[in-house]
Protein backbone atom coordinates (compact mmCIF):
# COMPACT_ATOMS: atom_id res chain seq x y z
CA UNK A 1 0.00 0.00 0.00
CA UNK A 2 3.03 2.32 0.39
CA UNK A 3 3.62 2.47 -3.35
CA UNK A 4 4.67 6.10 -3.48
CA UNK A 5 7.40 5.63 -0.87
CA UNK A 6 8.74 2.60 -2.74
CA UNK A 7 9.08 4.38 -6.07
CA UNK A 8 12.22 6.52 -6.33
CA UNK A 9 11.43 10.19 -6.88
CA UNK A 10 13.02 10.41 -10.35
CA UNK A 11 11.08 7.39 -11.55
CA UNK A 12 7.88 8.90 -10.14
CA UNK A 13 8.46 12.08 -12.16
CA UNK A 14 9.13 9.96 -15.24
CA UNK A 15 5.85 8.11 -14.71
CA UNK A 16 4.04 11.42 -14.20
CA UNK A 17 5.43 12.85 -17.43
CA UNK A 18 4.48 9.68 -19.28
CA UNK A 19 1.00 9.75 -17.79
CA UNK A 20 0.62 13.46 -18.62
CA UNK A 21 1.51 12.77 -22.25
CA UNK A 22 -0.99 9.93 -22.21
CA UNK A 23 -3.67 12.13 -20.65
CA UNK A 24 -3.30 14.73 -23.40
CA UNK A 25 -3.75 12.15 -26.11
CA UNK A 26 -6.65 10.62 -24.18
CA UNK A 27 -8.47 13.98 -24.22
CA UNK A 28 -8.28 14.04 -27.98
CA UNK A 29 -10.04 10.71 -28.44
CA UNK A 30 -13.21 9.45 -26.74
CA UNK A 31 -12.33 7.94 -23.36
CA UNK A 32 -12.98 4.22 -22.95
CA UNK A 33 -15.79 3.87 -20.45
CA UNK A 34 -17.46 0.99 -18.73
CA UNK A 35 -21.20 1.22 -19.48
CA UNK A 36 -21.94 -1.58 -17.00
CA UNK A 37 -21.30 0.63 -13.98
CA UNK A 38 -23.39 3.77 -14.24
CA UNK A 39 -23.96 6.02 -11.23
CA UNK A 40 -26.42 8.89 -11.30
CA UNK A 41 -26.33 12.32 -9.76
CA UNK A 42 -26.73 15.99 -10.39
CA UNK A 43 -23.37 17.49 -9.59
CA UNK A 44 -24.57 20.94 -10.69
CA UNK A 45 -26.33 21.12 -7.31
CA UNK A 46 -23.39 19.94 -5.25
CA UNK A 47 -21.56 22.22 -2.89
CA UNK A 48 -18.06 23.59 -3.32
CA UNK A 49 -14.91 21.91 -2.04
CA UNK A 50 -12.31 24.04 -3.84
CA UNK A 51 -11.31 25.73 -7.08
CA UNK A 52 -8.13 25.89 -9.13
CA UNK A 53 -6.54 27.48 -12.16
CA UNK A 54 -4.30 25.07 -14.07
CA UNK A 55 -1.77 27.29 -15.84
CA UNK A 56 -0.32 24.26 -17.66
CA UNK A 57 -3.72 23.25 -19.06
CA UNK A 58 -5.20 26.76 -19.42
CA UNK A 59 -8.29 25.63 -17.59
CA UNK A 60 -10.28 26.70 -14.54
CA UNK A 61 -11.70 23.99 -12.29
CA UNK A 62 -14.39 23.78 -9.65
CA UNK A 63 -14.18 20.86 -7.24
CA UNK A 64 -17.64 19.90 -5.96
CA UNK A 65 -18.63 17.28 -3.42
CA UNK A 66 -21.76 15.20 -2.85
CA UNK A 67 -23.32 15.37 0.63
CA UNK A 68 -21.07 12.58 1.92
CA UNK A 69 -18.01 14.49 0.72
CA UNK A 70 -19.12 17.83 2.18
CA UNK A 71 -19.98 16.21 5.50
CA UNK A 72 -16.59 14.49 5.63
CA UNK A 73 -14.75 17.70 4.67
CA UNK A 74 -16.42 19.71 7.44
CA UNK A 75 -15.67 17.04 10.03
CA UNK A 76 -12.06 16.78 8.83
CA UNK A 77 -12.79 13.12 8.10
CA UNK A 78 -10.79 12.94 4.86
CA UNK A 79 -7.90 10.62 5.62
CA UNK A 80 -9.40 8.51 4.23
CA UNK A 81 -12.57 9.99 2.76
CA UNK A 82 -15.54 7.70 3.65
CA UNK A 83 -17.11 5.23 1.24
CA UNK A 84 -19.84 6.96 -0.73
CA UNK A 85 -17.80 10.12 -1.25
CA UNK A 86 -17.95 11.49 -4.77
CA UNK A 87 -15.71 14.41 -5.70
CA UNK A 88 -16.40 16.04 -9.06
CA UNK A 89 -13.92 18.15 -11.00
CA UNK A 90 -15.61 20.50 -13.50
CA UNK A 91 -13.16 21.81 -16.08
CA UNK A 92 -13.65 24.88 -18.26
CA UNK A 93 -11.31 26.37 -20.82
CA UNK A 94 -10.04 29.72 -19.55
CA UNK A 95 -10.63 33.13 -21.07
CA UNK A 96 -10.01 36.74 -20.11
CA UNK A 97 -13.10 38.60 -18.92
CA UNK A 98 -14.12 40.97 -21.74
CA UNK A 99 -14.55 43.93 -19.36
CA UNK A 100 -11.72 43.11 -16.98
CA UNK A 101 -8.97 41.26 -18.85
CA UNK A 102 -6.92 40.56 -15.73
CA UNK A 103 -9.72 38.32 -14.53
CA UNK A 104 -9.47 34.77 -15.88
CA UNK A 105 -12.97 33.27 -16.07
CA UNK A 106 -14.58 30.08 -17.43
CA UNK A 107 -15.15 29.76 -21.16
CA UNK A 108 -16.67 26.58 -22.60
CA UNK A 109 -17.06 23.42 -20.51
CA UNK A 110 -14.27 20.96 -21.30
CA UNK A 111 -15.29 18.01 -19.15
CA UNK A 112 -16.50 16.91 -15.73
CA UNK A 113 -14.80 13.97 -14.07
CA UNK A 114 -15.17 12.37 -10.67
CA UNK A 115 -13.55 10.21 -8.00
CA UNK A 116 -15.92 7.74 -6.32
CA UNK A 117 -14.84 6.26 -3.01
CA UNK A 118 -15.40 2.55 -2.37
CA UNK A 119 -12.47 1.10 -0.50
CA UNK A 120 -13.18 -2.52 -1.47
CA UNK A 121 -14.55 -2.09 -4.96
CA UNK A 122 -11.71 0.11 -6.14
CA UNK A 123 -8.96 -1.34 -3.95
CA UNK A 124 -6.47 -1.48 -6.84
CA UNK A 125 -6.65 2.30 -7.31
CA UNK A 126 -6.42 3.52 -3.74
CA UNK A 127 -10.11 2.94 -3.05
CA UNK A 128 -11.13 5.45 -5.73
CA UNK A 129 -13.10 4.77 -8.87
CA UNK A 130 -12.26 7.32 -11.54
CA UNK A 131 -15.23 8.39 -13.62
CA UNK A 132 -16.60 10.80 -16.17
CA UNK A 133 -19.88 12.72 -16.23
CA UNK A 134 -21.83 12.64 -19.47
CA UNK A 135 -24.73 14.93 -18.69
CA UNK A 136 -26.04 13.59 -15.39
CA UNK A 137 -24.70 10.08 -16.01
CA UNK A 138 -21.53 9.20 -14.16
CA UNK A 139 -19.64 6.29 -15.69
CA UNK A 140 -16.66 4.62 -14.10
CA UNK A 141 -13.67 4.43 -16.44
CA UNK A 142 -12.40 0.98 -17.30
CA UNK A 143 -9.43 -0.43 -15.39
CA UNK A 144 -6.79 0.79 -17.83
CA UNK A 145 -8.02 4.39 -17.83
CA UNK A 146 -8.58 4.33 -14.06
CA UNK A 147 -4.96 3.29 -13.56
CA UNK A 148 -3.86 6.22 -15.72
CA UNK A 149 -5.89 8.60 -13.54
CA UNK A 150 -4.62 6.98 -10.36
CA UNK A 151 -0.97 7.33 -11.44
CA UNK A 152 -1.40 11.13 -11.57
CA UNK A 153 -2.89 11.07 -8.06
CA UNK A 154 -0.10 8.93 -6.55
CA UNK A 155 1.95 11.93 -5.32
CA UNK A 156 -1.03 12.78 -3.06
CA UNK A 157 -1.05 9.38 -1.31
CA UNK A 158 -0.66 11.00 2.12
CA UNK A 159 -3.82 13.03 1.36
CA UNK A 160 -5.84 9.94 0.31
CA UNK A 161 -4.88 10.67 -3.32
CA UNK A 162 -6.86 13.93 -3.43
CA UNK A 163 -5.23 17.16 -4.66
CA UNK A 164 -7.78 19.68 -3.37
CA UNK A 165 -8.07 20.88 0.21
CA UNK A 166 -11.64 21.86 1.21
CA UNK A 167 -11.92 25.65 1.50
CA UNK A 168 -15.40 26.26 2.96
CA UNK A 169 -16.11 25.10 6.50
CA UNK B 1 -30.34 55.36 -15.01
CA UNK B 2 -28.09 55.39 -18.07
CA UNK B 3 -25.14 56.69 -16.08
CA UNK B 4 -22.49 54.57 -17.80
CA UNK B 5 -23.42 55.83 -21.25
CA UNK B 6 -23.28 59.44 -20.07
CA UNK B 7 -19.79 59.20 -18.63
CA UNK B 8 -17.04 59.49 -21.26
CA UNK B 9 -14.83 56.40 -21.43
CA UNK B 10 -11.61 58.13 -20.29
CA UNK B 11 -13.36 59.62 -17.27
CA UNK B 12 -14.83 56.21 -16.46
CA UNK B 13 -11.35 54.67 -16.47
CA UNK B 14 -10.16 57.52 -14.24
CA UNK B 15 -13.01 56.82 -11.82
CA UNK B 16 -12.22 53.12 -11.91
CA UNK B 17 -8.55 53.71 -11.11
CA UNK B 18 -9.50 56.05 -8.29
CA UNK B 19 -11.97 53.51 -6.94
CA UNK B 20 -9.38 50.72 -7.25
CA UNK B 21 -6.87 52.77 -5.22
CA UNK B 22 -9.61 53.42 -2.69
CA UNK B 23 -10.56 49.75 -2.54
CA UNK B 24 -6.99 48.76 -1.71
CA UNK B 25 -6.82 51.23 1.16
CA UNK B 26 -10.28 50.15 2.30
CA UNK B 27 -9.05 46.55 2.60
CA UNK B 28 -6.35 47.68 4.99
CA UNK B 29 -8.72 49.29 7.47
CA UNK B 30 -11.99 47.94 8.87
CA UNK B 31 -14.83 48.62 6.40
CA UNK B 32 -17.54 51.00 7.53
CA UNK B 33 -20.67 48.94 7.90
CA UNK B 34 -24.28 49.63 8.71
CA UNK B 35 -25.23 47.39 11.64
CA UNK B 36 -28.90 48.35 11.29
CA UNK B 37 -29.38 46.23 8.19
CA UNK B 38 -28.15 42.71 8.90
CA UNK B 39 -29.15 39.76 6.71
CA UNK B 40 -28.36 36.20 7.73
CA UNK B 41 -27.38 33.18 5.69
CA UNK B 42 -24.88 30.37 5.38
CA UNK B 43 -23.22 31.00 2.05
CA UNK B 44 -20.93 28.00 2.60
CA UNK B 45 -23.90 25.86 1.59
CA UNK B 46 -24.83 27.89 -1.48
CA UNK B 47 -24.39 26.55 -4.98
CA UNK B 48 -21.86 27.68 -7.54
CA UNK B 49 -22.44 30.43 -10.11
CA UNK B 50 -18.88 30.86 -11.38
CA UNK B 51 -15.22 31.11 -10.45
CA UNK B 52 -12.39 33.45 -11.38
CA UNK B 53 -8.68 34.07 -10.97
CA UNK B 54 -7.84 37.75 -10.59
CA UNK B 55 -4.26 38.05 -11.84
CA UNK B 56 -4.18 41.74 -10.79
CA UNK B 57 -5.17 40.93 -7.20
CA UNK B 58 -3.46 37.50 -6.95
CA UNK B 59 -6.67 36.02 -5.66
CA UNK B 60 -9.01 33.15 -6.57
CA UNK B 61 -12.74 33.72 -6.26
CA UNK B 62 -15.82 31.53 -6.04
CA UNK B 63 -19.12 33.17 -6.91
CA UNK B 64 -22.00 31.49 -5.04
CA UNK B 65 -25.72 32.15 -5.24
CA UNK B 66 -28.61 31.74 -2.81
CA UNK B 67 -31.59 29.68 -4.05
CA UNK B 68 -33.20 32.74 -5.67
CA UNK B 69 -29.98 33.44 -7.57
CA UNK B 70 -29.51 29.82 -8.71
CA UNK B 71 -33.13 29.58 -9.81
CA UNK B 72 -32.83 32.84 -11.77
CA UNK B 73 -29.54 31.76 -13.36
CA UNK B 74 -30.98 28.46 -14.58
CA UNK B 75 -34.04 30.17 -16.03
CA UNK B 76 -31.88 32.83 -17.69
CA UNK B 77 -33.80 35.37 -15.64
CA UNK B 78 -30.84 37.62 -14.86
CA UNK B 79 -31.55 40.87 -16.70
CA UNK B 80 -32.41 41.98 -14.14
CA UNK B 81 -31.83 39.42 -11.39
CA UNK B 82 -34.99 39.18 -9.23
CA UNK B 83 -35.40 40.83 -5.85
CA UNK B 84 -34.14 38.48 -3.14
CA UNK B 85 -31.09 37.43 -5.15
CA UNK B 86 -27.88 37.33 -3.14
CA UNK B 87 -24.60 36.70 -4.96
CA UNK B 88 -21.58 36.04 -2.75
CA UNK B 89 -17.98 36.46 -3.85
CA UNK B 90 -15.55 34.43 -1.72
CA UNK B 91 -11.97 35.61 -2.13
CA UNK B 92 -8.84 33.64 -1.26
CA UNK B 93 -5.22 34.64 -1.65
CA UNK B 94 -3.64 32.48 -4.35
CA UNK B 95 -0.82 29.99 -3.93
CA UNK B 96 0.88 27.35 -6.04
CA UNK B 97 -0.12 23.77 -5.19
CA UNK B 98 2.81 22.22 -3.33
CA UNK B 99 2.72 19.03 -5.43
CA UNK B 100 1.71 20.60 -8.73
CA UNK B 101 3.07 24.18 -8.92
CA UNK B 102 1.32 24.99 -12.18
CA UNK B 103 -1.97 24.69 -10.35
CA UNK B 104 -3.01 27.92 -8.61
CA UNK B 105 -5.18 27.06 -5.60
CA UNK B 106 -6.77 28.92 -2.67
CA UNK B 107 -4.57 29.91 0.25
CA UNK B 108 -6.06 31.84 3.20
CA UNK B 109 -9.53 33.39 3.03
CA UNK B 110 -9.27 37.11 2.31
CA UNK B 111 -12.92 38.12 2.48
CA UNK B 112 -16.45 37.25 1.43
CA UNK B 113 -18.64 39.99 0.00
CA UNK B 114 -22.11 40.00 -1.50
CA UNK B 115 -24.57 41.80 -3.74
CA UNK B 116 -28.15 41.82 -2.45
CA UNK B 117 -30.91 42.61 -4.96
CA UNK B 118 -33.75 44.89 -3.90
CA UNK B 119 -34.70 47.19 -6.74
CA UNK B 120 -36.43 49.78 -4.56
CA UNK B 121 -34.30 49.68 -1.46
CA UNK B 122 -31.02 50.02 -3.32
CA UNK B 123 -32.25 52.10 -6.23
CA UNK B 124 -29.29 54.48 -6.04
CA UNK B 125 -26.84 51.65 -6.71
CA UNK B 126 -28.54 49.82 -9.56
CA UNK B 127 -30.87 47.90 -7.25
CA UNK B 128 -27.96 46.19 -5.54
CA UNK B 129 -26.96 46.45 -1.90
CA UNK B 130 -23.25 45.77 -1.47
CA UNK B 131 -22.39 43.83 1.63
CA UNK B 132 -19.76 41.94 3.58
CA UNK B 133 -19.95 38.59 5.35
CA UNK B 134 -18.53 38.42 8.85
CA UNK B 135 -18.95 34.76 9.68
CA UNK B 136 -22.59 34.05 8.85
CA UNK B 137 -23.63 37.69 9.33
CA UNK B 138 -24.14 39.67 6.17
CA UNK B 139 -24.01 43.42 6.69
CA UNK B 140 -24.87 45.98 4.05
CA UNK B 141 -22.10 48.56 3.56
CA UNK B 142 -23.02 52.18 4.24
CA UNK B 143 -23.94 54.40 1.32
CA UNK B 144 -20.43 55.75 0.72
CA UNK B 145 -18.85 52.30 0.54
CA UNK B 146 -21.75 50.93 -1.53
CA UNK B 147 -21.21 53.69 -4.09
CA UNK B 148 -17.54 52.75 -4.28
CA UNK B 149 -18.49 49.12 -4.97
CA UNK B 150 -21.12 50.17 -7.50
CA UNK B 151 -18.67 52.36 -9.44
CA UNK B 152 -16.54 49.27 -10.15
CA UNK B 153 -19.64 47.42 -11.40
CA UNK B 154 -20.81 50.25 -13.71
CA UNK B 155 -19.08 48.83 -16.81
CA UNK B 156 -21.38 45.78 -16.47
CA UNK B 157 -24.59 47.84 -16.60
CA UNK B 158 -25.90 45.85 -19.59
CA UNK B 159 -25.48 42.69 -17.48
CA UNK B 160 -27.37 44.14 -14.49
CA UNK B 161 -23.99 45.19 -13.00
CA UNK B 162 -22.84 41.59 -12.49
CA UNK B 163 -19.42 40.46 -13.76
CA UNK B 164 -19.90 36.68 -13.57
CA UNK B 165 -21.81 34.57 -16.06
CA UNK B 166 -23.40 31.45 -14.49
CA UNK B 167 -21.51 28.33 -15.59
CA UNK B 168 -23.58 25.41 -14.29
CA UNK B 169 -27.03 24.87 -15.76
Return the DSSP state at A48.
E
Quick check: A104 and B165 CB within 8 A? no
Rounded Cα gap, residues B62 and B49, in angstroms: 8
Looking at the DSSP assignment, which residues form a beta bridge with residue B92?
A: B60, B109
- CA distances, B9 to each of B4, B12, B126, B146, B154 (Å): 9, 5, 19, 22, 12
Chain A residues touching residue B165 (CB < 8 angstroms): 105-106
Looking at the DSSP assignment, which residues form a beta bridge with residue A133?
A: A138
Q: How confident is the model over B38-51, as a mean pLDDT? A: 81
Quick check: A99 and B163 CB within 8 A? yes
CB A52 within 8 A of CB A69: no
Nearest CA in chain A to B46: A47
Residue B25 has phi, psi (to 5 degrees) of -70, -35
Closest-CA distance of chain B to residue A153, Å: 10
Q: Describe the crossing of helices B143-153 and B9-28 by its angle, rounded to 10 degrees.
A: 130
Counted residue by residue, chain B has a size of 169
Band the pLDDT of B42: cuts 50, 70, 90. confident
Chain B residues touching residue A167 (CB < 8 angstroms): 62, 90, 92, 106, 109
Closest-CA distance of chain B to residue A71, Å: 11
Give the HSE-up count for residue A145: Cα atoms under 13 Å, Cβ half-sphere.
22
Residues belonging to chain B with any Cβ–Cβ distance to chain A shorter than 8 Å: 44-48, 50-56, 60, 62, 64, 90, 92, 94, 97, 99-100, 102-106, 109, 155-156, 163-165, 167-169
CATH architecture of the domain with residue range B3-159: 3-Layer(bba) Sandwich (3.50)
Percentage of residues in chain A having pLDDT higher than 90: 70
Q: How confident is the model over B149-168, as a mean pLDDT? A: 95
Q: Describe the crossing of helices A143-153 and A9-28 by its angle, rounded to 10 degrees.
A: 130
Q: Is A125 exposed, middle or buried (0-12, 13-18, 19+ CB in 10 A)?
A: buried
pTM beyond cutoff 0.90: no
Q: Quick one: pLDDT at residue B41?
A: 62
CA B63 and chain centroid, separation: 8
Rounded Cα gap, residues A134 and A112, in angstroms: 8
Give the HSE-up count for residue A81: Cα atoms under 13 Å, Cβ half-sphere.
30
User: Where in chain A are the domains?
Assistant: 3-47+64-88+113-158
Q: Quick one: pLDDT at residue A135?
A: 81
Chain A residues touching residue B97 (CB < 8 angstroms): 52, 163
Q: What is the pLDDT of residues A4-20, one digit of tens each?
A: 444 445 444 444 444 33
Rounded Cα gap, residues A83 and A64, in angstroms: 16
Nearest CA in chain A to B63: A48
Quick check: B168 and A44 CB within 8 A? yes
ipTM of the complex: 0.76
Quick check: A47 and B45 CB within 8 A? yes
Q: What is the pLDDT of residues A31-51, one digit of tens each?
A: 333 334 334 458 999 999 999
CB A69 within 8 A of CB A86: yes
Quick check: B53 and A60 CB within 8 A? yes
Band the pLDDT of B136: cuts 50, 70, 90. confident
CB B86 within 8 A of CB B115: yes
Q: Is B41 exposed, middle or buried (0-12, 13-18, 19+ CB in 10 A)?
A: middle
Amino acid sequence: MKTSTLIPHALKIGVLLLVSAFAVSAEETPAKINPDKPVYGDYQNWRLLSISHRLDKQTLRAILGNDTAIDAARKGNTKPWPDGTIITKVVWKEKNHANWPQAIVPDTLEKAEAMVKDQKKYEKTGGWGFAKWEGNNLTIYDEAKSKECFACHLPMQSNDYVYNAPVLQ
